[in-house]
């Protein structure tokens, strides 16, 4: 699907006495082109991404709630059900799927690689490469994300095995004293280092600085934090020479905290979200995708629609990269029962159709948006 090119070598430019700054060459043109081609395959009007990269441990609670045993076979069966949904509808709404390591190497009951099901649907496979949250020592209960060790080798192997993009998530908590400067600077550096390594391995990085919405803050505070986190992030991406045209930004919408009693309407959420992005994200970035972040299925769709319908400057496509808001009701319908596979697939395709409409601001509110109440 994508041209094969050699990895670019980062070479030092000669430095003059008057300029002590060491500069590095840009990525090779062929590599830039390859990254852009991957972005083009992922960012298509009316399509979005499915985040199906939950680790076995994060599936534990969800499977427990449904009485499904969290075994490798059940996780395979669940993903097989998702990826074998009707080809033409799947590829009409979904352009890429983020996988967990385990899924990349699993086969269907008929011995077909799961990744092959995606290829058959013209869907680009991607891979979550971070290794999860760890405490950020020196902070008060904040986190950073580990997984940089051997990252280039892992990416090269995943590329050989058919993945073309990656995801890495860092999280930020809003309180009176957080996110701290330490957390913002550390995580920006972690994300930038991740992104530059992935690009060197011919993979498009999805850079995800998730600002969590648990807390009792109002939407103004969420706006302020988004602006601060994203400005520091983009400054750091520049310092690490990340090729902005060959990345995708994944963010949360700007929302009030789940413990805040003021419920903002979709227009206010759209206005605040677009404002935060306009003030911080360069137009060179080819696309921004949203996580659903524990919003109800309905809110995740209605708010995405409002963002796309919002009349303001939006130099990037704004689409979905949902995990829970695409899968909550699907997983419930499936519940480990092989006789429910077709029903669950129908629910999935309907969720994907609604997200697709919302991604172009053309959601038909008469058309059964609400399938699950808020879990926030």
Applying CB under 6 A, the residues found at the interface with ligand 13P are: 51, 169, 208, 291-293, 322-325
**Cα 59 from chain centroid (whole Å):** 17
Q: 64 or 342: whose CB is closer to ligand 13P?
A: 64
Q: Tell me the closest approach of the beta carbon of residue 122 to ligand 13P, in angstroms.
A: 21
State the Cα–Cα distance between residues 213 and 257, nearest whole angstrom. 5
Comparing CA positions, the residue from 237, 223, 251 lying closest to residue 319 is 251
In the complex, what is the shortest distance from the CB of residue 109 to ligand 13P, in angstroms, rounded to a whole number?
26
**Min. distance of Cβ 118 from ligand 13P in angstroms?**
16
Catalytic residues: 208, 250
Nearer Cβ to ligand 13P (117/304):
304
Q: What end-to-end distance do the CA atoms of the chain give, in Å?
A: 40
Let me know: does 293 contact 252? Beta carbons within 8 Å: yes
Strand pairing category for 143-145 and 165-172: unpaired
Conformation bin of residue 197: beta by default, left when phi > 0, alpha when psi is -120 to 50: alpha
Of the candidates 115, 189, 88, the residue with the CA atom closest to the CA atom of residue 145: 189
**Min. distance of Cβ 105 from ligand 13P in angstroms?**
20
Structure-token pair, residue 37: 């081609």
The whole-angstrom separation of Cα 164 and Cα 158 is: 8
* Alpha-carbon span 101 to 110, nearest angstrom: 20
Q: How far is the CB of 227 from ligand 13P (least distance, A)?
A: 21
């Amino acid at each position: 699907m994508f041209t094969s090119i050699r990895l670019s070598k980062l070479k030092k430019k000669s430095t003059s006495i008057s300029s002590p700054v060491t500069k590095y060459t840009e990525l090779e043109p062929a590599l830039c082109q390859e990254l852009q081609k991957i972005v083009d395959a992922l960012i298509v009007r009316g399509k979005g991404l499915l985040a199906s990269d939950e680790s076995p441990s994060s599936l534990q609670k969800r499977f427990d709630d449904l009485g499904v045993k969290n075994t490798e076979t059940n996780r395979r069966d669940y993903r097989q059900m998702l990826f074998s949904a009707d080809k033409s509808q799947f590829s009409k709404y979904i352009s890429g799927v983020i996988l967990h390591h385990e899924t990349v190497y699993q086969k269907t009951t008929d011995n077909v690689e799961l990744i092959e099901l995606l290829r058959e649907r013209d869907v680009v496979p991607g891979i979550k490469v971070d290794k999860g949250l760890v405490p950020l020592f020196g902070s008060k209960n904040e986190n950073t994300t580990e997984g940089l060790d051997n990252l280039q080798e892992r990416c090269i192997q995943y590329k050989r095995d058919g993945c073309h993009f990656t995801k890495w998530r860092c999280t930020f908590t809003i309180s009176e004293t957080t996110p701290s400067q330490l957390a913002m600077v550390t995580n920006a550096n972690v994300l930038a280092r991740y992104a530059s390594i992935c690009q060197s391995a011919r993979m498009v990085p999805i850079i995800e600085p998730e600002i969590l919405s648990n807390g009792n803050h109002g939407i103004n505070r969420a706006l302020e934090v988004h602006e601060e986190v994203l400005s520091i992030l983009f400054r750091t991406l520049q310092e690490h020479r990340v090729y902005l045209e060959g990345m995708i930004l994944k963010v949360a919408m700007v929302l009030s905290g789940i413990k805040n009693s003021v419920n903002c309407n979709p227009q206010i959420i759209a206005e605040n979200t677009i404002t935060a992005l306009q003030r911080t994200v360069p137009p060179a970035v080819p696309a921004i995708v949203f996580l659903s972040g524990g919003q109800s299925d309905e809110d995740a769709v209605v708010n995405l629609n409002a963002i796309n319908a919002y009349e303001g400057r939006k130099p990037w496509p704004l689409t979905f990269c949902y995990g829970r808001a695409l899968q909550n009701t699907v997983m419930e319908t499936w519940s480990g029962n092989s006789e429910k596979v077709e029903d669950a697939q129908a629910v999935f395709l309907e969720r994907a159709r609604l997200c697709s409409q919302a991604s172009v601001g053309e959601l038909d509110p008469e058309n059964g948006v609400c399938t699950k109440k808020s879990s926030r």
